[in-house]
């Protein structure tokens, strides 16, 4: 009988939600099975008042979401290799079911090719899951689990072999689309990604546009994702589709200015190493229902 998979958890915080953070950590501690080792990264703020046994890393400045999570990964050894699977959880989330860790272990045990699992997110007051929290185009039924092509950043589990093979999240993105970048690299390396409706994280419903830099970074990082990962013929197609979709959504004039400013910035600034995916990965994404032009 093989030993159960060893789980770790990474939580980044800016110190603004101490009560929610404590509730999340308590929900992780209550998971069935072997204890989950937890690292909380203070992203430009000290971490205080955490339960005994929770490790903390205080960063002198805010490195952004991917940068902070990468620091948390390395706290488990290079590429997180000291554990088998890492959970990434938002500091204002909550695991309401004590069996979530067991489901995570069972999923990765059952499928050696499974690289990433994306949890279902639901509002704690209404129980509703927003369409944008279902990582596929056909998002009308959030209770349906399926293979997908990306995942949700603050509610997921990643096999650390994936991180060791393809690397972590792109530090330079700071915020937005870092999950897509990692997902495409993982899929290109042959790993699969699943959305699991039975693995639930409660999280208050909040619009992503609440972040002051949202429109600029969404556009800039969209260009970077394409430049880093797509075969050259698909880069203009992918970006043209997203320009069209942005215009169809009719954002406010200030938001549109910020978006196009970020779009230009994405072309003018370094995007990190370029490793275009194989054409068979393009076909794989297409068969999964999301060709890499949408």
SS3 at position 80: helix
| pLDDT value, residue 83 | 98
**What number of other Cβ atoms are within 10 A of residue 6's Cβ?**
16
SS3 at position 44: coil
The topology under which CATH files domain 7-206 is Spore Coat Polysaccharide Biosynthesis Protein SpsA; Chain A (3.90.550)
d(CA 155, CA 108): 16
**What number of other Cβ atoms are within 10 A of residue 13's Cβ?**
24
Whats the size of the chain, residue-wise?
Answer: 294
Most distant CA pair in the chain: distance in Å? 61
Q: Where are the domains positioned within the chain?
A: 7-206, 209-287
Per-residue pLDDT of the chain (294 residues; tens, 9 = 90+): 688 999 999 999 999 999 999 999 999 999 999 999 999 999 999 999 999 999 999 999 999 999 999 999 999 999 999 999 999 999 999 999 999 999 999 999 999 999 999 999 999 999 999 999 999 999 999 999 999 999 999 999 999 999 999 999 999 999 999 999 999 999 999 999 999 999 999 999 877 655 558 999 999 999 999 999 999 999 999 999 999 999 999 999 999 999 999 999 999 999 999 999 999 999 999 999 999 998
| pLDDT value, residue 3 | 87
β-pair partners for 202: 94, 122
**What is the DSSP code string of 274-293?**
--PPPHHHHHHHHHTT--TT
| pLDDT value, residue 294 | 84
Residues 6+ positions from 141 with CB-CB distance below 8 Å: none
Q: CB of 225 within 8 A of CB of 177? A: yes
Please give the model's pTM, rounded to 2 decimal places: 0.95
DSSP 94: B
């Amino acid at each position: 009988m093989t030993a159960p998979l060893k789980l770790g958890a990474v939580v980044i915080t800016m110190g603004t939600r101490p009560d929610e953070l404590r509730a999340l950590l308590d929900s992780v501690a209550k998971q069935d099975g072997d204890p989950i080792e937890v690292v909380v990264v203070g992203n430009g703020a000290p971490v205080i008042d955490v339960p005994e046994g929770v490790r903390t890393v205080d960063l002198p400045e805010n490195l952004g979401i991917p940068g902070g999570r990468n620091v948390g990964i390395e706290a488990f050894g290079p590429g997180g290799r000291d554990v088998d699977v890492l959970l990434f959880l938002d500091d204002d989330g909550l695991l309401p079911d004590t069996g979530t860790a067991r489901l995570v272990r069972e999923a990765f045990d059952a499928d050696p090719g499974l690289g990433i699992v994306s949890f279902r997110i639901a509002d704690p007051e209404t129980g509703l899951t927003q369409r944008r929290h279902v990582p596929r185009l056909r998002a009308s039924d959030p209770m349906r689990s399926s293979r997908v092509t990306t995942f949700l950043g603050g509610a997921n589990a990643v096999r650390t072999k994936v991180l060791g093979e393809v690397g972590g999240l792109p530090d330079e993105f700071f915020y937005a689309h870092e999950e897509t970048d990692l997902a495409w690299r993982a899929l290109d390396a042959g790993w699969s990604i699943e959305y699991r409706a039975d693995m639930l994280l409660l999280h208050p419903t909040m619009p992503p546009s609440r972040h002051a830099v949202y429109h600029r970074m969404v556009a800039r990082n969209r260009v970077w994702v394409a430049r880093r990962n797509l075969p050259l013929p698909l880069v203009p197609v992918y970006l043209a589709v997203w320009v069209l979709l942005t215009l169809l959504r009719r954002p406010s004039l200030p938001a549109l200015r910020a978006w196009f400013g970020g779009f230009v910035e994405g072309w003018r600034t370094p995007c990190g190493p370029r490793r275009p995916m194989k054409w068979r990965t393009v076909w794989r994404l297409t068969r999964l229902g999301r060709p890499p032009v949408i």
